Amino acid sequence: MGRGAKPDVTQKGALNNNDPMLFDTHAHLNFKDYDKDREKVIRNSLEEGVFMINVGTDINESKKVAEISKKHKKGVYSSIGLHPLYVEKEDFENLLPEYENLARSSVVVAIGETGLDLQGKNMEKQRQVFLKHIQLAEKSGLPLILHCRKAHEELIELISNSTSKGVIHCFTGGEKELKEYLEMGFYIGFNGIIFKMNLEKEIRETPLERILLETDCPFLTPPEAKTERNEPLFVKYIAKEIARIKRISVKEVAKVTTRNAVNLFKL
């Protein structure tokens, strides 16, 4: 592709300054929940200026998110990895060459979701697989999308030796963990869980410059959406709630968090 030519698939580094209005940095439009209307859901979002990252949860879903990205000129990015709840379902180490190959694709902007989930099984395996993801992120130069449930202390210990940065997706930790993540240079992802749990203090204490918006769709639908299934478009309700809590304009939240996403994922 020549310089200045418009890419015909979503690619890193191809964004103009004021392209997206809002950024859903954690979506799962690859899930079967969208088999009947996936392209329509994506179109609805893009038409409203909502860009997205679809997040893989195993090798097949990671391949699928990349395929979905390739169908779009702009704004539909991918993250690849094995979710900590599925570490016993596939042999990550054996599949590593396939993941490495995917990580080289121009549509893949992050490694994950990966991390630790205390409600899952086999913590030892989770640890091993997580460390492999950290190495993959270092090797590929991509940021991490981290999933953590009730295992912050250990997760912090495991990533503290790495040069890799990223986002703590669906943050539900306390003030202590928040402070540590911020000191280490991580971004904090907030989604519809903020309508279920009281995270107002944590949201106030996270500088806007370190917040990423996400939906985790099809899950965690904001109540205002008045529908069961979540989608990237509804990230606007997260922006609105954060604006309310921080007493700033929705426009400011949208502008800064979108810039954060562009910076972290090198778009």
Q: How far apart are CA 182 and CA 156, in angstroms?
A: 11
Q: Give the shortest CB-170-to-Zn ion separation in angstroms.
A: 7
Q: Give the shortest CB-18-to-Zn ion separation in angstroms.
A: 28
Give, for 26, the enclosing helix (H) or strand (E): strand 22-27
CB-based contacts of 193, cutoff 8 Å, min separation 6: 170, 172, 199, 216, 220
Q: Give the shortest CB-146-to-Zn ion separation in angstroms.
A: 11
At which residue do the structure tokens 């950024």 appear? 23
| Token code pair at residue 7 | 């890419």
Binding residue count for Zn ion, defined by CB under 5 A: 1
Q: Give the shortest CB-71-to-Zn ion separation in angstroms.
A: 21
Q: Give the shortest CB-172-to-Zn ion separation in angstroms.
A: 13
By Cβ distance, which residue is nearest to Zn ion?
216
Binding mask 205-234 for Zn ion (x = CB under 5 A): -----------x------------------
Q: How far apart are CA 255 and CA 78, in angstroms?
A: 21
Kindly tell me which of 11 and 169 has the beta carbon lying closer to Zn ion. Answer: 169
Q: How far is CA 254 from CA 18, 130, 166, 186, in A?
A: 12, 31, 19, 19
Binding mask 157-196 for Zn ion (x = CB under 5 A): ----------------------------------------
Q: How far apart are CA 263 and CA 267, in angstroms?
A: 7
Residues that bind Zn ion (CB under 5 A): 216
